[in-house]
Amino acid sequence: MAALQKMMGDTELTEDNIRIAMQNLTPEQKAELLSEGQELKQEIMSKKEHAEERNLFFSEFNKRSEEAGMPIDKDGTHLAKKITTFMATSSDQIPQLLLLEALAGCPFLVKVAIAEARNESSEAGASASDLAEIEAALSVLRVEGWRDGEASGRPPFVRRNLLLLHAHMYNERLNALKLSDATKRASREVVLKCKRLLDMVFSYTLQCAWIKALLAITELQGCLTNGLWGHTDDECLMSMKQKLTSVGLKMPKINIQCKAADVAPGEKVSLTVTLTRSHCHSAAEMEAYSALQKSEDLKQQQVEKELAAAGGATDVSDATSAEEAGDAREGWWLVVESIRGHNGVAAMLEGSEVTHNQLAGSPTTLSPTLDEASVSSTVEFSAPATPGEYKVIVHVRSTGMIGVDAKRKVAFMVRQSKVSSKVSTATGGAVTDQTSSPEGGGEVLFGGAYDLEAAASGDVNYAEHLKLHIDVALDSVLASKPKDPFKAIQQVLFQASLTGETPAAPAPREVTAELQAFMDEYQLHIIIESCMFKMKKRLVVGPKDGVKFLISDAGDFFTEESKKLKAAGGVMPKASMTAEELRAKDAADKKAKREKEAKAEAERDAADALNAERAAALEASGKRATGGLHKFDASEVDVHGGSGTADDFMDAFGF
């Protein structure tokens, strides 16, 4: 209010004056006012000295929410407790039944059930007989939560709310039940309130980055919106298609493509996601959709006019214009799940040792028009501090439809900085890290300190030892620049594995343009990072004798890289290729494969011709040629030794 007063000048802060002032604010002033308000809110919420103002804010907020028929703070606390209790013991997605029971037990719904129970009128709400019929039908359908013994022990109000929720979701299977109008109204009220609760807990899970809870909530929102019970059930999918067709829409068929560039530790990962819609409407289908919408609007207008004539509603809605129909859009949530990337959730769940995936970056929305074939968006999040390969899962979710969600796993590399900015210099026994490089002033490799000893007991740090040995091998390769650097690295590691000795650290080496070109040509940093990442599970603390086995296995890794280089003709494939380069490589690979197969076939034909020639020679000499690869006369070999001599034996084998 102080910021608004400053903008309004000496004008009194009455309700009318504030409304007029807000209407006259420029976009820049509105942004400034919003920013200042957010900063003040953050300060009130986070600092202890504002506890009184914070309590007043929540009290007033809850009071107004309750008056408006909205959930309040204690509803959020109830749902959060249910979710965190499950997450403390499992990293799986939250089961639908658990979410439904949590909603059914919310104070927001329970107080409605209590008020209904206190009202003695039989038409006040859901009747007991209807609830009993619904429960019996759900038990027959073997719905989870209502099978034999599963329904016992629920509080009456939770049972009532859960039955009404399931009656809505399984409406198509329960259409034989003759429920009273009061029960139907009660079911609609419970569903409406549950949607509001889900919206609230959806926002809360976004703040906490609870990705599995978020996915479970979007699935339940889709089920409640359409009155269906699952995303994979064939009956539900058929019903969803019919619902969409009835309003001129098509069942979504989507595909997602993702692209993320490699980054350095701590940099922003920029993940580009493209949603392709195979079900986009053609021009003719858009015209049919517009015509259908106009027809539905005319019907609605006629109903409203009849109500108005009878003394009912008087508002008559306008027909949908062609422009409005053409601007109809689908709505999708785009969220990114980091795979075991963070430990923040465990810190929030007391006593939890379960590792949870988390939300990466801020969720965004995709809103393509019905005739739009594709739409793209970019999600940014911070890269981990440790180099290596990381994976995320991109989810595209709908809260208004079921069975249409899509996901794709994407990998990206967090590469080590090509240059170590630290050069260690010893001064009086103390090691000092400097950001400057040796005299040349250029980029520098090596020179950092290695923390080899990990414990007083004599155990060593395997990660530091492996890094030291690879650095020594890399230093020797940079000095000689061989045609096969991987073979050279393997030989250095192999020799070190025989002796088990700890080498001296390589001296700082300035990176010249020539060295940089050599390292880029063979992608040495990427290959070394891949080696470290592959062996990360073994990079622990242990006895020094284990180091030689570690570096021996690292040598095997570089042997495989050497084989790949040799198979590629000594030319290192590019880390990334254009479409043209990829097609050329595929064509070259296919050609090499055909040539290899042709050569092998020619060798087989030559061998067959030689065998045929030998067989003909045997038969010309009066012997009957038998046998497979090596021909012989039957008289020369039998169970008694035969009449064959050593010369015959040598002849048969081509000697």
The 10s digit of each residue's pLDDT in 343-355 is: 444 444 445 567 8
Do 504 and 595 belong to one domain?
Answer: no
Look at residue 422 in the predicted model and tell me its pLDDT.
34
In a domain, residue 581? The reply is: no
List the structure tokens of 244.
Answer: 């969409």
- Both 6 and 69 in one domain: the answer is no
The pLDDT value recorded for residue 311 is: 61
Backbone angles phi, psi at 409, to 5 degrees: -90, 135
| Same-domain check for residues 341 and 385 | yes
Is residue 424, in this structure, part of any structural domain at all? no
- Which of residues 386, 415, 444 is at a domain's end? 415
Angstrom distance (rounded) from CA 102 to CA 82: 6
Domain presence at residue 114: yes
| Domain assignment of residue 479, yes or no | yes
Q: Are residues 83 and 170 in the same domain?
A: yes
Domain count, the chain: 5
Does residue 169 sit in helix, strand or coil? helix
The three-class DSSP label of residue 377 is strand
Can you give the pLDDT at residue 447? Answer: 58
Residues 68 and 179 in one domain: yes
Which stretch of DSSP H or E encloses residue 163? helix 156-169
Does residue 172 lie within any of the structural domains? yes
Residue 212: what pLDDT? 93
Whether residue 79 lies inside any domain: the answer is yes
d(CA 534, CA 470): 14
Do both 525 and 631 map to the same domain?
no
Domain that residue 272 falls in:
246-415
In angstroms, the CA 236 to CA 115 distance is 34
Residues 217 and 294 in one domain: no
Residue 590 CB coordination number (10 Å): 10
CA-derived radius of gyration, the chain: 37
Q: For residue 512, list its beta bridge partners.
A: none
Domain co-membership, 379 together with 445: no
Strand stretches in 261-387, DSSP E: 268-277, 332-338, 358-359, 364-366, 374-382
Separation CA 272–CA 366 (nearest Å):
13
Query: Is there a single domain that holds both residue 346 and residue 286?
Result: yes
pLDDT at position 270, please?
A: 93
Query: Do 96 and 207 share a domain, yes or no?
Result: yes
Instruction: Round to the nearest angstrom and report the end-to-end CA distance of the chain.
Output: 106
**Regions of the chain short of the pLDDT cut 50:** 313-319, 321-322, 341-350, 418-442
Task: Say whether both 505 and 475 belong to one domain.
Answer: yes
**Largest Cα span, the chain:** 129
Residue after which a domain boundary falls, among 382, 415, 448:
415
Classify residue 85: in a domain, yes or no. yes
| Structural domain includes residue 572 | no
Q: Quick one: tokens of 116?
A: 């209904």
d(CA 555, CA 470): 9
Q: What is the pTM of this model?
A: 0.59
**Cα separation of 521 and 205, whole Å?**
46
Q: What CATH code is carried by the domain that includes residue 255?
A: 2.60.40.150
pLDDT tens for 8-18 read 677 776 777 77
For position 125, which CATH number holds?
1.10.3380.10
Distance CA 91, CA 83 (A): 11
**Both 506 and 408 in a single domain?**
no
Among 391, 415, 439, the domain boundary falls at 415
